[in-house]
Protein backbone atom coordinates (compact mmCIF):
# COMPACT_ATOMS: atom_id res chain seq x y z
CA UNK A 1 0.00 0.00 0.00
CA UNK A 2 1.36 3.42 -0.95
CA UNK A 3 2.02 5.80 1.97
CA UNK A 4 -0.38 8.73 2.20
CA UNK A 5 1.99 11.62 2.88
CA UNK A 6 0.28 14.27 4.99
CA UNK A 7 2.28 17.48 5.08
CA UNK A 8 1.31 21.13 5.18
CA UNK A 9 2.96 24.53 4.90
CA UNK A 10 6.66 24.69 4.03
CA UNK A 11 7.30 20.92 4.57
CA UNK A 12 4.72 20.17 1.85
CA UNK A 13 6.88 21.99 -0.69
CA UNK A 14 9.16 18.94 -0.76
CA UNK A 15 6.34 17.12 -2.58
CA UNK A 16 6.00 20.02 -5.02
CA UNK A 17 9.69 19.99 -5.93
CA UNK A 18 9.83 16.17 -6.07
CA UNK A 19 6.92 16.17 -8.51
CA UNK A 20 8.61 18.64 -10.84
CA UNK A 21 11.91 16.72 -10.89
CA UNK A 22 10.21 13.37 -11.42
CA UNK A 23 8.00 14.75 -14.19
CA UNK A 24 11.01 16.15 -16.04
CA UNK A 25 12.97 12.92 -15.55
CA UNK A 26 10.17 10.83 -17.06
CA UNK A 27 10.11 12.83 -20.28
CA UNK A 28 11.76 11.06 -23.26
CA UNK A 29 13.67 14.29 -23.97
CA UNK A 30 14.58 14.90 -20.33
CA UNK A 31 17.27 17.39 -19.38
CA UNK A 32 17.38 16.13 -15.77
CA UNK A 33 17.55 12.38 -15.33
CA UNK A 34 16.51 11.63 -11.75
CA UNK A 35 15.58 7.98 -11.33
CA UNK A 36 15.48 8.29 -7.54
CA UNK A 37 12.86 11.05 -7.79
CA UNK A 38 10.81 8.90 -10.16
CA UNK A 39 10.91 5.99 -7.72
CA UNK A 40 9.79 8.12 -4.77
CA UNK A 41 7.08 9.77 -6.86
CA UNK A 42 5.61 6.37 -7.76
CA UNK A 43 5.62 5.28 -4.11
CA UNK A 44 3.46 8.11 -2.80
CA UNK A 45 -0.33 8.20 -2.67
CA UNK A 46 -0.84 11.88 -3.52
CA UNK A 47 -2.73 13.72 -6.27
CA UNK A 48 0.25 15.69 -7.57
CA UNK A 49 -1.31 17.04 -10.77
CA UNK A 50 -4.58 17.93 -9.07
CA UNK A 51 -2.79 19.67 -6.22
CA UNK A 52 0.15 21.41 -7.91
CA UNK A 53 -0.97 21.66 -11.52
CA UNK A 54 1.17 20.73 -14.56
CA UNK A 55 4.96 21.03 -14.15
CA UNK A 56 6.44 24.14 -15.75
CA UNK A 57 10.15 23.27 -15.90
CA UNK A 58 11.31 25.96 -13.46
CA UNK A 59 12.14 23.70 -10.52
CA UNK A 60 13.89 21.23 -12.81
CA UNK A 61 15.88 24.16 -14.20
CA UNK A 62 16.90 25.14 -10.69
CA UNK A 63 18.03 21.57 -9.98
CA UNK A 64 20.14 21.60 -13.16
CA UNK A 65 21.91 24.79 -12.07
CA UNK A 66 22.60 23.43 -8.59
CA UNK A 67 23.85 20.14 -10.09
CA UNK A 68 26.27 21.91 -12.40
CA UNK A 69 27.84 23.87 -9.53
CA UNK A 70 28.06 20.91 -7.16
CA UNK A 71 29.41 18.60 -9.91
CA UNK A 72 32.20 21.02 -10.69
CA UNK A 73 33.05 21.29 -7.00
CA UNK A 74 33.09 17.49 -6.56
CA UNK A 75 35.49 17.18 -9.49
CA UNK A 76 37.91 19.41 -7.58
CA UNK A 77 37.18 17.99 -4.10
CA UNK A 78 36.20 14.31 -4.57
CA UNK A 79 36.59 13.55 -0.85
CA UNK A 80 34.86 16.70 0.38
CA UNK A 81 31.61 17.10 2.30
CA UNK A 82 28.34 18.31 0.80
CA UNK A 83 25.77 19.70 3.24
CA UNK A 84 22.16 20.05 2.07
CA UNK A 85 20.14 22.37 4.30
CA UNK A 86 16.40 21.77 4.11
CA UNK A 87 16.98 18.60 2.09
CA UNK A 88 13.36 17.41 2.04
CA UNK A 89 13.07 14.74 -0.67
CA UNK A 90 15.91 16.19 -2.75
CA UNK A 91 17.80 13.42 -4.57
CA UNK A 92 20.89 15.31 -5.67
CA UNK A 93 23.20 12.91 -3.85
CA UNK A 94 21.79 10.04 -5.93
CA UNK A 95 22.32 12.03 -9.14
CA UNK A 96 25.85 13.25 -8.37
CA UNK A 97 27.49 10.95 -5.83
CA UNK A 98 31.05 9.98 -6.81
CA UNK A 99 31.50 7.12 -4.36
CA UNK A 100 33.84 9.15 -2.13
CA UNK A 101 32.19 12.35 -0.90
CA UNK A 102 30.37 12.65 2.41
CA UNK A 103 26.81 14.02 2.39
CA UNK A 104 25.16 15.64 5.39
CA UNK A 105 21.39 16.17 5.08
CA UNK A 106 19.73 18.59 7.50
CA UNK A 107 15.99 19.12 7.87
CA UNK A 108 13.19 19.40 10.40
CA UNK A 109 12.36 16.14 12.22
CA UNK A 110 8.97 15.79 10.48
CA UNK A 111 10.46 16.20 7.01
CA UNK A 112 13.44 13.96 7.70
CA UNK A 113 11.19 11.22 9.08
CA UNK A 114 9.36 11.11 5.73
CA UNK A 115 12.67 11.10 3.88
CA UNK A 116 13.91 8.13 5.89
CA UNK A 117 10.69 6.30 5.06
CA UNK A 118 10.75 7.03 1.32
CA UNK A 119 14.41 7.47 0.34
CA UNK A 120 17.25 4.97 0.50
CA UNK A 121 20.37 7.07 0.99
CA UNK A 122 23.85 5.57 0.66
CA UNK A 123 26.13 4.79 3.61
CA UNK A 124 28.13 8.04 3.33
CA UNK A 125 24.96 10.07 3.75
CA UNK A 126 24.17 11.21 7.29
CA UNK A 127 20.90 12.73 8.50
CA UNK A 128 20.56 15.50 11.08
CA UNK A 129 17.01 16.16 12.31
CA UNK A 130 17.34 19.82 13.27
CA UNK A 131 16.18 23.26 12.30
CA UNK A 132 19.08 24.55 10.21
CA UNK A 133 18.66 27.97 11.85
CA UNK A 134 19.78 26.49 15.17
CA UNK A 135 23.31 26.17 13.71
CA UNK A 136 23.90 23.05 15.83
CA UNK A 137 24.54 21.03 12.67
CA UNK A 138 27.78 22.97 12.23
CA UNK A 139 29.29 21.13 15.20
CA UNK A 140 29.43 17.93 13.12
CA UNK A 141 31.58 19.44 10.36
CA UNK A 142 35.37 19.87 10.22
CA UNK A 143 35.79 23.66 9.96
CA UNK A 144 38.97 23.27 7.91
CA UNK A 145 37.76 20.63 5.45
CA UNK A 146 36.60 21.08 1.86
CA UNK A 147 32.92 21.93 2.17
CA UNK A 148 29.99 22.65 -0.14
CA UNK A 149 26.77 23.93 1.45
CA UNK A 150 23.60 23.99 -0.64
CA UNK A 151 20.40 25.75 0.40
CA UNK A 152 17.82 24.95 -2.26
CA UNK A 153 14.27 26.28 -2.12
CA UNK A 154 14.50 27.33 1.53
CA UNK A 155 15.77 30.84 2.25
CA UNK A 156 12.72 32.58 0.82
CA UNK A 157 10.64 31.11 3.65
CA UNK A 158 12.78 32.90 6.26
CA UNK A 159 12.90 36.52 7.37
CA UNK A 160 15.83 38.64 6.19
CA UNK A 161 17.23 38.59 9.73
CA UNK A 162 17.17 34.79 9.75
CA UNK A 163 18.79 34.61 6.30
CA UNK A 164 21.51 37.01 7.38
CA UNK A 165 22.24 35.02 10.54
CA UNK A 166 22.46 31.70 8.67
CA UNK A 167 24.56 32.84 5.71
CA UNK A 168 27.03 34.91 7.70
CA UNK A 169 27.49 32.07 10.20
CA UNK A 170 28.32 29.66 7.36
CA UNK A 171 30.69 32.06 5.61
CA UNK A 172 32.55 33.02 8.78
CA UNK A 173 32.82 29.59 10.41
CA UNK A 174 34.12 27.56 7.46
CA UNK A 175 37.25 28.95 5.74
CA UNK A 176 37.02 26.63 2.70
CA UNK A 177 33.27 26.60 2.17
CA UNK A 178 31.54 27.10 -1.15
CA UNK A 179 27.93 28.12 -0.86
CA UNK A 180 25.06 27.91 -3.31
CA UNK A 181 21.50 29.06 -2.70
CA UNK A 182 18.54 30.42 -4.62
CA UNK A 183 16.58 33.64 -4.25
CA UNK A 184 13.28 35.05 -5.41
CA UNK A 185 12.73 38.70 -6.39
CA UNK A 186 10.69 41.00 -4.13
CA UNK A 187 7.60 40.92 -6.34
CA UNK A 188 7.16 37.18 -5.80
CA UNK A 189 7.68 37.64 -2.05
CA UNK A 190 5.02 40.37 -1.99
CA UNK A 191 2.64 38.17 -3.96
CA UNK A 192 2.94 35.25 -1.54
CA UNK A 193 2.61 37.45 1.56
CA UNK A 194 -0.33 39.49 0.25
CA UNK A 195 -3.77 39.06 1.85
CA UNK A 196 -4.93 36.82 -1.00
CA UNK A 197 -1.62 35.00 -1.35
CA UNK A 198 -0.30 33.06 -4.35
CA UNK A 199 -2.58 30.22 -5.36
CA UNK A 200 -0.62 27.91 -7.64
CA UNK A 201 -3.86 26.05 -8.33
CA UNK A 202 -7.34 26.24 -6.74
CA UNK A 203 -6.10 23.52 -4.38
CA UNK A 204 -2.61 24.72 -3.47
CA UNK A 205 -1.62 28.00 -1.90
CA UNK A 206 2.14 28.63 -1.93
CA UNK A 207 3.41 29.23 1.62
CA UNK A 208 4.38 32.84 2.41
CA UNK A 209 7.89 33.73 1.25
CA UNK A 210 8.98 36.71 3.39
CA UNK A 211 12.47 37.13 1.94
CA UNK A 212 12.84 38.45 -1.56
CA UNK A 213 15.84 40.23 -3.04
CA UNK A 214 16.80 41.57 -6.45
CA UNK A 215 19.38 38.99 -7.63
CA UNK A 216 21.83 41.64 -8.85
CA UNK A 217 21.90 43.12 -5.34
CA UNK A 218 22.88 39.91 -3.53
CA UNK A 219 26.63 40.58 -3.82
CA UNK A 220 26.41 44.00 -2.18
CA UNK A 221 24.04 42.67 0.47
CA UNK A 222 26.34 39.78 1.44
CA UNK A 223 29.34 42.11 1.48
CA UNK A 224 27.46 44.44 3.80
CA UNK A 225 26.43 41.60 6.09
CA UNK A 226 29.96 40.15 6.25
CA UNK A 227 31.64 43.60 6.47
CA UNK A 228 34.05 42.63 3.67
CA UNK A 229 33.88 42.07 -0.08
CA UNK A 230 32.05 38.87 -1.04
CA UNK A 231 31.99 37.99 -4.74
CA UNK A 232 29.12 35.92 -6.12
CA UNK A 233 28.03 34.42 -9.43
CA UNK A 234 24.32 34.83 -10.20
CA UNK A 235 22.40 32.77 -12.76
CA UNK A 236 18.72 33.42 -13.47
CA UNK A 237 16.44 30.40 -13.23
CA UNK A 238 14.79 30.18 -16.62
CA UNK A 239 12.53 27.25 -17.37
CA UNK A 240 14.03 24.38 -19.35
CA UNK A 241 10.54 24.02 -20.85
CA UNK A 242 9.79 27.45 -22.39
CA UNK A 243 6.56 26.19 -23.93
CA UNK A 244 4.97 25.80 -20.49
CA UNK A 245 6.85 28.42 -18.45
CA UNK A 246 4.66 30.97 -16.60
CA UNK A 247 7.45 33.57 -16.60
CA UNK A 248 8.26 33.98 -20.30
CA UNK A 249 6.80 37.49 -20.31
CA UNK A 250 9.88 38.61 -18.35
CA UNK A 251 12.04 37.87 -21.40
CA UNK A 252 10.12 40.43 -23.41
CA UNK A 253 10.67 43.23 -20.91
CA UNK A 254 14.38 44.19 -20.74
CA UNK A 255 13.84 46.44 -17.72
CA UNK A 256 12.67 43.38 -15.75
CA UNK A 257 15.64 41.13 -16.55
CA UNK A 258 16.87 41.26 -12.94
CA UNK A 259 13.45 40.16 -11.66
CA UNK A 260 13.87 36.42 -12.27
CA UNK A 261 14.39 33.92 -9.46
CA UNK A 262 18.10 33.09 -9.46
CA UNK A 263 20.80 30.73 -8.20
CA UNK A 264 23.65 32.38 -6.30
CA UNK A 265 27.09 30.74 -6.05
CA UNK A 266 29.60 32.03 -3.51
CA UNK A 267 33.06 30.65 -4.43
CA UNK A 268 35.56 29.55 -1.80
CA UNK A 269 38.08 32.36 -2.37
CA UNK A 270 35.73 34.66 -0.50
CA UNK A 271 36.84 33.09 2.76
CA UNK A 272 40.10 35.03 2.88
CA UNK A 273 39.62 37.82 5.40
CA UNK A 274 40.07 41.33 4.07
The answer to whether residue 126 is domain-embedded is yes
CATH code of 81's domain: 3.40.50.150
How much is the pLDDT for 272? 41
pLDDT of residue 120: 86
Q: Mind listing the pLDDT tens digit for each residue in 158-168?
A: 999 999 999 99
Q: Cα separation of 157 and 233, whole Å?
A: 22
Spatial CA neighbour of 235 closest among 223, 249, 218, 250 = 218
Q: What's the DSSP call for residue 130?
A: S
In a domain, 245, yes or no: yes
The residues facing 125 across adjacent strands are 103
Q: Indicate whether 149 belongs to any domain.
A: yes
Q: Which pLDDT score is estimated for 11? A: 80
Is residue 127's pLDDT more than 70? yes
Classify residue 127: in a domain, yes or no: yes
Task: Let me know if residue 4 belongs to a domain.
Answer: no
Q: Where are the alpha helices (DSSP H) in 122-262?
A: 160-173, 186-193, 218-226
Q: Is it the case that residue 250 has pLDDT exceeding 80?
A: no
When pLDDT is averaged across residues 201-228 and rounded to a whole number, the result is: 96
- Total structural domains in the chain? 1
With respect to residue 3, please indicate whether it lies within any of the assigned structural domains.
no
Kindly state whether residue 24 falls inside one of the protein's structural domains.
yes
DSSP 3-state of 92: helix
Domain extent for 59: 9-271
The pLDDT, as a whole number, for residue 254 is 59
pLDDT in tens, 98-109: 999 999 999 999
The average pLDDT across 114-132 equals: 93
Q: How far is CA 105 from CA 15, 37, 72, 111, 133, in A?
A: 17, 16, 20, 11, 14
The CA–CA distances, whole Å, from 176 to 97, 126, 182 equal 20, 21, 20
What is the structure's pLDDT at 175? 87
Of residues 84 and 9, more confidence is placed in: 84
- Lowest-pLDDT range of 75-84, 114-123, 153-162, 201-210: 114-123
Task: Please report whether residue 1 resides in a domain.
Answer: no
- In terms of Cα–Cα distance, which of 159, 156, 152, 265 is closest to 219? 265
Q: Is the pLDDT of residue 271 over 60?
A: no
Amino acid sequence: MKPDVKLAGVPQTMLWTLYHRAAESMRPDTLLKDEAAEQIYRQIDFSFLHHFGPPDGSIAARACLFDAIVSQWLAQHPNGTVVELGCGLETQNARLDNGQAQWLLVDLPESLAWRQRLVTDHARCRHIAQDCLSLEWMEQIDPDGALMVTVQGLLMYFSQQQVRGLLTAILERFPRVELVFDVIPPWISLWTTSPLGFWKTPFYKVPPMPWGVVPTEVESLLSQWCARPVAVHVQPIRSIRPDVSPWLWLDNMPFLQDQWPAVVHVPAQNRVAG
